[in-house]
Amino acid sequence: MSAPKIKIINARAITPHGIVENASMLITGDKITDIREGDIDSPNAKIIDAEGKYVSPGFIDIHIHGGGGSDFMDGTVAAFLTIADTHARYGTTAMFPTTLTAEKEDLLNTLDIYQEALKQNKQGAQFMGMHIEGPYFAMEQRGAQDPRYIRNPDEAEYKEIIAHAGNSIARWSAAPELEGALAFGRYAKSKGILPSVAHTDGVAEDVMKAFENGYSLATHFYSAMSGVMRRNGFRYAGVVEGVYLIDEMDVEIIADGIHLPAPLLKLVCKIKGIDRVALITDAMRAAGTTENESILGSQKNGVKVIIEDGVAKLPDRSAFAGSIATADKLVRNMIKLAGSSLVDAVKMMTIVPARIMNIDQQKGSLIAGKDADIIIFDENINIQMTMVKGKVVYM
């Protein structure tokens, strides 16, 4: 029996090189098999009429904690599936579920739940691997991370977690200036895990050493990391400046317009270049809801937060506690606030994160042979349809 075929017609197809007007696209099974200007002859294909709207690769979120009232740290398969379904409605077709600083047992449990959720996820954004955020962070840059669980890298601990996870962990964020952090980076890299600089109070030289030891990404750039500082009267370049100085180092940014205002969004793109910038939601459980109070982390032992000014905050308003953004908003903001073109904004939410996470051979662009992760949206980036591997999950 031949694979089912779907043909999308009357599309404005967004490619890495520009927009193809009056485009058609053929999907066979779970793959894109043809894309071109004009019609594609396929008489038995089911037709989806884009009606002149934009057709784009699905958005790829490489740093996300929750949505729809659930968090990946809740420890249930239902939470994972709710988050995947919620964000698919806003154009996300692939995601890297992200943990928070926690006890080892909670991390091991979350990894086990991930494996089960991977099998059961039929309706939402595809899970591509876990992102472990913490617990190896600088206390001074913890942000909303729970200080009870922050600690230095523990070789026995991280080796046990990585062995337990099999191939489930795709990425691990840590502060590189901590004792043992460089050895941790080397070990993670040797196991195919991307080490990422995060929640760090280091100086530029710490970033240089980190890069030499496998750290090639800056987690939520600018957020929870040091900039230019003075120590004993002397001025030092911080982590932000260190990242800027390494041309080959990638960054991810929370483009909700609140964590980073417009001038910083523009500055990041100007200095790093869009091919080194990935957009992330860093969304917590209140994303996709209308709640004004929520919990960061698990229902069991998470941190209470308030939702105000379009962002989650600690109750004393001393720090942000994660974003409530969805991927469509990030793209909209890069166009409206940072002056990016539509093609560039989409690139930072698709092919750039795909390359960073080494999945660009199968995802991130509308090219024959790649997964049929496709979305349709209007001029205001309002999502009309989401397709994951050839299956329409939202319309």
pLDDT in tens, 259-303: 999 999 999 999 999 999 999 999 999 999 999 989 988 888 888
Encoded tokens for 279: 């957009």
Q: Which two tokens stand for residue 17?
A: 């090189």
- Measured CA to CA, the distance from residue 388 to residue 373 in angstroms comes to 5
Say if residues 168 and 200 touch (Cβ distance below 8 Å): no
Which are the contacts of 232, defined by CB distance < 8 A and separation ≥ 6? none
Q: What is the pLDDT of residues 361-384, one digit of tens each?
A: 999 999 999 999 999 999 999 999
Portion of the chain with pLDDT greater than 70, in percent: 100
For CATH 3.20.20.140, list the domain ranges present in the chain.
58-356
| Burial profile 96-122: b = 16 or more Cβ within 10 angstroms, e = fewer | bbbbbbbebebbeebbebbeebbeebe
Rounded CA-CA distance 303/305 in Å is: 6
Mean pLDDT for the stretch of residues 212-227: 97
* pLDDT value at residue 321: 85
Residue 112 pLDDT greater than 90, yes or no: yes
Write down the pLDDT at residue 301. Answer: 80
pTM of structure: 0.97
CA distance 30 to 370: 9
Mean per-residue pLDDT over the chain, rounded: 96
Instruction: Provide the b/e sequence for 253-266 (b: ≥16 CB within 10 Å).
Output: bbbbbbbbeeebbb
| Number of residues written out for the chain | 395
The CATH number assigned to the domain with range 58-356 reads 3.20.20.140
Check whether 252 has a pLDDT greater than 80. yes
pLDDT at 182 over 70: yes
pLDDT at 353 over 90: yes
To the nearest 10°, report the CA torsion of 230, 211, 251, 269: 80
* Delimiting residues of CATH 2.30.40.10 domain(s) in the chain: 5-56+370-394
Domain 5-56+370-394's class? mainly beta
Distance CA 208, CA 194 (A): 16
The pLDDT tens digits for 19-77 are 999 999 999 999 999 999 999 999 899 999 999 999 999 999 999 999 999 999 999 99
Q: What is the pLDDT of residue 1?
A: 67
pLDDT at 187 over 70: yes
